[in-house]
């Protein structure tokens, strides 16, 4: 499973936004949505476990990044934490990454 690239510009911009909300409002409302496709996984047992792991890893990385910026992670309010399994039924065509890949993600957004 890929980790969040904490050096990536989009991640840094997101953390800047969260820190800005904490500075402005005293809190930041964040939504985390994690998804796994219907391609079977042996590593995580079930796709539900994989999706939950992605969500938990994203939450952990968010807290770490906020702490590194000197902010209290208790000021992050998780409004919604969604762990999904979605996409087309698996047809044994695991090399068709375009078909299934768009359902394998983690999204974080502020409100």
- pLDDT exceeds cutoff 90 at 30: yes
Domains of the chain: 9-110 (3.30.1330)
**Phi–psi pair at 42, nearest 5 degrees:** -90, -35
At 62-98, the pLDDT tens digits run 999 999 999 999 999 998 889 999 999 998 887 778 8
- pLDDT exceeds cutoff 60 at 1: no
Which helix or strand (DSSP H or E) is residue 93 part of? none
Q: Which 3 state secondary structure label does DSSP give 109?
A: strand
Q: How far is CA 67 from the centre of its chain?
A: 18
28-36 vs 76-85, strand pairing mode:
parallel
d(CA 73, CA 37): 30
């Amino acid at each position: 499973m890929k980790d969040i690239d904490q050096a990536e510009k989009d991640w840094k911009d997101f953390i800047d936004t969260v820190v800005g909300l904490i500075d402005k409002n005293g809190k930041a409302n964040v939504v985390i949505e994690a998804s796994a496709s219907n391609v079977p996984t042996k590593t995580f047992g079930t796709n539900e476990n994989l999706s939950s792991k992605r969500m938990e890893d994203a939450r952990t990385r968010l807290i770490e990044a906020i702490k590194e910026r000197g902010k209290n992670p208790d000021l992050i309010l998780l409004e919604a934490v969604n762990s999904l399994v979605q996409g087309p039924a698996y047809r044994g065509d695991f090399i068709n990454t375009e078909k299934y890949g768009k359902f394998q993600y983690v999204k974080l957004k502020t409100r």
